[in-house]
Structure 1
Amino acid sequence: MRSDQEAEFRQYVTARADRLRRFAYLCCGDWHRAEDAVQTAFIKLYGAWHRKNSVNFDRYVRRTITNVLIDEGRLAWFRRVRSVGEPPEPPPADGADRKVDRLTIMDALARLPKRQRAVVVLRYWEDHSIEQVAEVLRCSTGTVKSQGARGLRTLRALLADSMPGRGIPVPDAFTEQTIGATS
C-alpha cells in the first residue's frame, strides 16, 4: 500500500474506531469480543482499501463485524468459554427512578438472538433505514422487518420480566428517552 493510502486508512480507522466499538459491543455485549471483532474488520478493510472508489467502507466494516460475531458464536471453543453470573450491583430499591435504565436495556439486548440483536442495533440504535440494514446483513427488507419486529417483541417481554411489579413502562420501541437514539 502506498504511503498516501496508508495515511488515509489510518485517518479512517482513527475517526471510526470508537463508534464501531460501541456498535460491536451492542451486538455482542462484551467489550473484549467487540474490540476483537473491530480489529478483525479493520484487518479485512486494510486488504480492501485499494478498492476505495467501489466500496462503502462503513457498510463493509459493519457487515464484517456482524459476520465475525455471528461466526464466532458457532465455534466450539466459544461455547466452552462462555462466562455467566449476576452483576455485583443490587437491584434498585422501590421508588427508584421510573425510567427503564440503560443497564437493564443492555442486559435485555444481550439476551436477544444474534440476528435480531444485529437488526435492532442497526435499525434503532444506529438509525439506519430498512434498506441499509438489509444491505449490511445481506438479507431482504422483509427479513429486516420481521427480525426487527420479533426483536422488539422479545425485548419488550424481557424488559417486562426483568421489572415485575415496579410499574415501569416498557417502551414500544427504542426511543430517545430510553437509549438516546431516534427510531
Structure 2
Amino acid sequence: MPELIAKSVLEGQSLTLGAVTLAEVSVGPIASIAVFPGGGKAVAKGLKTLGLAMPEPNAFTEKKGARIVWTGREQAFLVGVEPPALEGAAVTDQSDGWTVLAISGTGAVDTLARLVPMDLRLAAFPVGRAVRTQVNHMNAVILRVGDYAFEIMVFRSMVRTAWHEIHAAMQTVAARAGMKF
C-alpha cells in the first residue's frame, strides 16, 4: 500500500510587504471538541490533564504548547497536541482540514480591515480573543496572538484564495503608505 506524505499547502511560504508579514504556520494537530449535553464535567476532567479548560466565548487559552480555541457554543478546537480521552464529547481530527496563516506587523489591522467585517483594533479585539468570522467570502477563525499579530485558520481547500486576498489587501495598504513594490 502506498504511504501518504502530509504536505503543507503553501510549503511554508512567507511574504513581507511594507509593515506586514504573511506566513503559513504549522500548528500541529487540530481536534474539534463538541461537548454532548451534560458532558461538561467529563470534558473538564479530561482537559484538566493538559492544564486547560473549555474556553470562554470568543477567547482562547494556551498552556505548554497546547491551545484551546472557542469555535462556538460548547465547541472548541484543541490545537498543538493530541487530544486526551474526552468522555462527554465528540472529538474529531481536523488537522488535514484547516491551514493556519499568521499575519503580523503594524499594518496587519489595516490589512484585515479590508477583508474582515468586524473591528480588529487592539482596543476592541485584545490579545487572547478568538472569533469565527469571514475573511472576504471565506469562513475563518481569527485569533489575536499579539499586539500586532493574528493567526487565521481557514479551510485547507481555501488557503490559496485566502493568501491571494490577504496579499492584495497588503498591496493596497502598502500603496496607501506610498511604498513602491
TM-score category, normalised to shorter length = 0.3 to 0.5
Query: Over alpha carbons, which structure has the higher Rg?
Result: 1
TM-score, normalising length from structure 2? 0.33
More helix by share: 1
More strand by share: 2
